[in-house]
Structure 1
């Protein structure tokens, strides 16, 4: 089955199709868990230390399905995500809380567009507006009412800046971050990539939250970070599209294979 973009996400696929956005996965997760309700839920109901690859697959399956899936695939994956989220609750938090889901979707949008801009430069205003509006589906497909998604990019930036300025990293969040960035059990290729992932994640985080997570940063690291992206921006866009889109194709094939076999492509929390 072709992985053409869904008609309602034709602009969004310009960002989502790039495998480079996987480099921002840990950044998005750390931003998500910085909000206490998310951090507490993940700390009590998830296991990043033992299933980092499963957690990555679940998130990417959802994002790719919302962008490229058929209507039936979208219904299947949405139902599974809602079922998983329904079990994640406790004193002071519920995974199906629309405000928490809005923040999770916001981190996925902000991280993906940040990386896309670093590698390709800014999108033109019209395309950027369409990408932003289409990204709302990551929240509205679940419990986020359409009117809760900020009306435009300026409204989103105000919402984002307020969240980054006011949220405080808790001990729960720091514990999850440690498990995520220092997995005790993981495939060899994950362990091999962790030093680079930790470096990129620290560099992409807002400075205050980076400090609250206890991630070391200084001018020397900033220079290395800027130099790395300068090189990547020259090389990555010239790679063959088939190579850049390989992660998307892999996870879509895996999702469709599991659905065809009657298995669930979304892991439990």
Structure 2
């Protein structure tokens, strides 16, 4: 088991730290002008894979599995959970300081309820910044992975620039600015070290398998869409995590995945920015409407 999961996690208080980043908030238009396609909503196809990456980390997986916040359950309210996550991505990447602080407060209310019990195999708390650092790292890695699968390798200059844009993925919540790896090279060290020693708990793996082929949603969804979902999820998983999930992946699966990605890239990369970013733009608009009118944010 990951050494981070073995230790007794302290009971951190919700962060009241200032939101810090080297870059001023950027709009979707400005980010796309700097690095075309880096926040395209086609990344939704990798959503389940990225969720699995996050939950593979001991403590994160058990926290989601055992969560008593039923309204945020992936299995019972997948659309609401997806909306909350995608809204967070939009606010963290494009929101003002005030908007980030508002969403932090809303998320902290839910996260404060996610704690281990005496029956839990390990001790955890959703407000633990170490766990949130891994989740944020997965989100950053996922953005880069989708971009490179659809558009080819990101240049070093663009990678460094995007890394700065993406820092608020962690620091909008409990991750202190000094915890976030200082540059892209330090990030890869953190990323690879954690992957190399990660061993997914068996109960988490078994629970996650129902996400892979959408079996949790019942036959009406899993029968027509399950095979496609499984291919996309396995294809977007990091190979190490895919192996730990026990998912079959050979030349046939790789060819089928590449064929679909090539087609998706050809279509997506020719679409106007407004369409490429439509889901995140709509969710950011809805968040701002809710904030303005004093409505629940998640």
Q: Which category of TM-score, normalised to the shorter sequence, fits these structures?
A: 0.7 to 0.9
1:86-101 residue pairs with structure 2 within 5 A?
Answer: 86-90=112-116, 91-101=122-132
Corresponding residue number in structure 2 for 1:52: 78
Report the secondary structure of 1:263's partner residue.
coil
Shift, 1:234, TM fit: 2.5
Distance 1:17 1:252, change over 3 A: same
Distance 1:58 1:234, change over 3 A: same
Query: What is the Cα-based RMSD across aligned positions, in Å?
Result: 2.5
**Within 2, Cα distance between the matches of 1:168 and 1:112?**
23
Corresponding residue number in structure 1 for 2:274: 242
Find runs of 4+ consecutive structure 1 residues off by over 4 angstroms.
9-16, 188-194
**More relative contact order in 1 or in 2 (CA 8 Å, sep 6+)?**
1
Name the structure where helix makes up a greater proportion of residues. Answer: 1
Q: Which residue, 73, 96, 110 being the options, matches 1:70?
A: 96
Corresponding residue number in structure 2 for 1:197: 229
Listed as ranges, the gaps of 5+ residues in structure 2 are 1-22, 117-121
Shift, 1:9, TM fit: 4.3
1:179-194 residue pairs with structure 2 within 5 A?
Answer: 179-181=210-212, 182-185=214-217, 193-194=225-226
Q: What's the CA shift string for 1:234-255, capped at 9, x where partnerless?
A: 2221112222111112211222
Shift, 1:193, TM fit: 4.4
1:263 aligns with 2:295: yes
Which shows bigger deviation, 87-96 or 255-264? 255-264
Distance 1:252 1:194, change over 3 A: farther
1:211 aligns with 2:243: yes
**Within 2, Cα distance between the matches of 1:191 and 1:148?**
43
**Within 2, Cα distance between the matches of 1:81 and 1:103?**
17
Corresponding residue number in structure 1 for 2:24: 7
Shift, 1:190, TM fit: 8.8
Corresponding residue number in structure 1 for 2:3: none
Q: Which residue, 164, 182, 187 being the options, matches 1:156?
A: 187
How many residue pairs end up in the alignment?
A: 261
**Within 1, Cα distance between the matches of 2:96 and 2:183?**
27
Q: Which residue, 126, 140, 144 being the options, matches 2:175?
A: 144
**Within 1, Cα distance between the matches of 2:133 and 2:41?**
24
